[in-house]
């Protein structure tokens, strides 16, 4: 089978401090949970409970406030203690409800009751997905209600692309999820496919994890939307929408020249990850919101890195403790991959896991490489790895040393999608991508 990729740049990223792809470990239920009112890209939800209220597992406790917002549900039964706020590394403040675990669970430990979705119309499926507060469980966490609104104007056929691309070892939680919940991912793909009127589902899977793709495709045969498996490279940033689309268009061109059954044109691509699709399935089949998610906990400062199944709202300090604690003083705590995640402000171990937290890292100074910045040695490594064909060195020097404005220097800033490949290879440790992305946003 052919393996598809993007034409230039990229890196093969390995990190021995990421957790191994072993079976997931169920994390302890948190005695105190913190449920943020913003777990997505838009405005915060309106709290429906306050200090002293009792809540049930899965109960609606925060009401979405228009586009960009999603409902928030209690992930454990208990009592609301108070509202808290905390600062995040970007300078933003988040607010959340602190819940003390108390009472019995409605779903945990009970046999699963299965509801049928097959007879529902697309609009009814969409409504149910919105009711359960489902968001994209990666990136900024776009609410799926916003996605449905944006698709209303698409006139081309739509292909749902199930992104199982493991170009970063810190995506191991998605990999373990695909292995442990392949049937749920395939069913969720079919549900979302029907809700969005897609004509075709493509499982885009890293070639080295072909077994995962074969299993997903086999599970997809139970549903009526045609599905295919496309193997793609594991070269970072293969999972970026731009690079993934380049690989899939190459597949489409090659497929058009081959004999065999004619597959529909790919049309417009709707890319979703396996965690989101499993959550869609749980909303429709179990009538439950996102209560937990798979999280990769690791880094050089963590004694026993592992993939954990974690209740949303669990404090990150509790997870590090369950992984055996620290080997030494972490210099940096990161939510997400060290390549693209965000720093936790002042290493605040009370920050909670949210719907988009796929990885959590604690890094020793030797892993962060310190902060010493040297002069550019003109090695050209940044140019060699840029998948877009930019010259990060020239863009960076123009910005930082010559204080050129974006329009004076180059119109190409906007093409940078912030993959961070240039930062990773720069021996002088320049924050090339941050400067370029900020310039594109007009923040320089």
Which residues here bind ligand SF4, judged by CB under 6 A? Answer: 376-382, 385-386, 388, 390, 392-393, 416-422, 425-428, 430, 432-433, 436
Q: How far apart are CA 117 and CA 113, in angstroms?
A: 13
Q: How far apart are CA 118 and CA 288, in angstroms?
A: 17
Residue closer to ligand SF4 (CB basis): 39 or 433: 433
Here the contacts of 106-112 (C-beta below 8 Å, separation 24 or greater) are 106/56, 106/57, 106/58, 106/77, 107/57, 107/58, 107/286, 107/288, 107/291, 108/57, 112/286
State the nearest-atom distance from the C-beta of 390 to ligand SF4, in Å. Answer: 4
Residue closer to ligand SF4 (CB basis): 87 or 374: 374
State the nearest-atom distance from the C-beta of 402 to ligand SF4, in Å. Answer: 14
State the nearest-atom distance from the C-beta of 369 to ligand SF4, in Å. Answer: 13
Residue closer to ligand SF4 (CB basis): 136 or 423: 423
State the nearest-atom distance from the C-beta of 35 to ligand SF4, in Å. Answer: 33
State the nearest-atom distance from the C-beta of 89 to ligand SF4, in Å. Answer: 19
CA angle 158, 223, 58 (to 5 degrees): 85
State the nearest-atom distance from the C-beta of 344 to ligand SF4, in Å. Answer: 22
Residue closer to ligand SF4 (CB basis): 108 or 376: 376
Q: How far out from the chain centre does Cα 431 lie?
A: 23
Residue closer to ligand SF4 (CB basis): 186 or 419: 419
Closest by CA to 71, choosing from 84, 58, 85, is 58
- Token couple for 57: 């597992």
Residue closer to ligand SF4 (CB basis): 296 or 425: 425
Residue closer to ligand SF4 (CB basis): 256 or 427: 427
State the nearest-atom distance from the C-beta of 81 to ligand SF4, in Å. Answer: 42
- Token couple for 212: 């995962």
Residue closer to ligand SF4 (CB basis): 239 or 315: 239
State the nearest-atom distance from the C-beta of 172 to ligand SF4, in Å. Answer: 22
């Amino acid at each position: 089978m052919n393996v598809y990729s993007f034409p230039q740049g990229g890196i093969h990223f390995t990190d021995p401090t990421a957790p191994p792809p072993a079976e997931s470990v169920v994390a302890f239920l948190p005695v105190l949970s913190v449920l943020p009112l913003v777990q997505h890209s838009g405005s915060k939800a309106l709290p429906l409970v306050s200090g002293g209220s009792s809540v049930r597992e899965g109960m609606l406790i925060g009401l979405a406030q228009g586009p960009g917002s999603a409902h928030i549900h209690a992930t454990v039964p208990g009592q609301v203690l108070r509202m808290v706020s905390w600062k995040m590394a970007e300078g933003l403040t988040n607010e959340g409800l602190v819940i003390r675990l108390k009472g019995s669970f409605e779903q945990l430990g009970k046999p699963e009751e299965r509801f049928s979705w097959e007879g529902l119309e697309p609009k009814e499926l969409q409504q149910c997905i919105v009711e359960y507060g489902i968001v994209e469980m990666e990136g900024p966490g776009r609410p799926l209600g916003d996605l449905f609104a944006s698709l209303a104007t698409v006139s081309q056929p739509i292909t749902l692309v199930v992104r199982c691309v493991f170009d970063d070892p810190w995506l191991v939680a998605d990999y373990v999820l695909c292995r442990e919940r392949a049937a749920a991912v395939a069913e969720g793909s079919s549900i979302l496919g029907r809700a969005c009127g897609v004509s075709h589902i493509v499982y885009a899977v890293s070639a080295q994890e072909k077994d995962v793709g074969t299993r997903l495709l086999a599970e997809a045969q139970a549903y009526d939307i045609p599905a295919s498996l496309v193997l793609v490279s594991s070269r970072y940033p293969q999972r970026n929408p731009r690079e993934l689309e380049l690989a899939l268009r190459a597949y489409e061109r090659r497929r058009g020249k081959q004999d065999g059954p004619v597959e529909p044109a790919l049309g417009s691509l709707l890319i979703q990850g396996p965690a989101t699709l499993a959550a869609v399935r749980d909303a429709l089949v179990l009538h439950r919101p996102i209560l937990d998610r798979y999280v990769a906990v690791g880094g050089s400062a963590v004694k026993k890195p592992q993939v954990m199944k974690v209740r949303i709202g669990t404090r990150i300090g509790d997870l590090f403790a369950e992984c055996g604690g620290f080997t030494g003083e972490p210099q940096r705590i990161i939510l997400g991959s060290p390549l693209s995640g965000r720093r936790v402000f002042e290493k605040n171990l009370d920050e909670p896991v949210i719907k988009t937290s796929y990885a959590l890292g604690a890094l020793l100074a030797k892993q962060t490489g310190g902060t010493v910045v040297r002069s550019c040695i003109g090695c050209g490594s940044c140019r060699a790895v840029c998948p877009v064909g930019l010259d990060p060195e020239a863009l960076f020097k123009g910005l930082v040393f010559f204080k050129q404005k974006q329009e004076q220097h180059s119109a190409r800033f906007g093409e940078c999608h912030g993959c961070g490949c240039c930062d990773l290879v720069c021996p002088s440790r320049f924050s090339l991508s941050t400067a370029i992305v900020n310039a594109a946003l007009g923040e320089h």
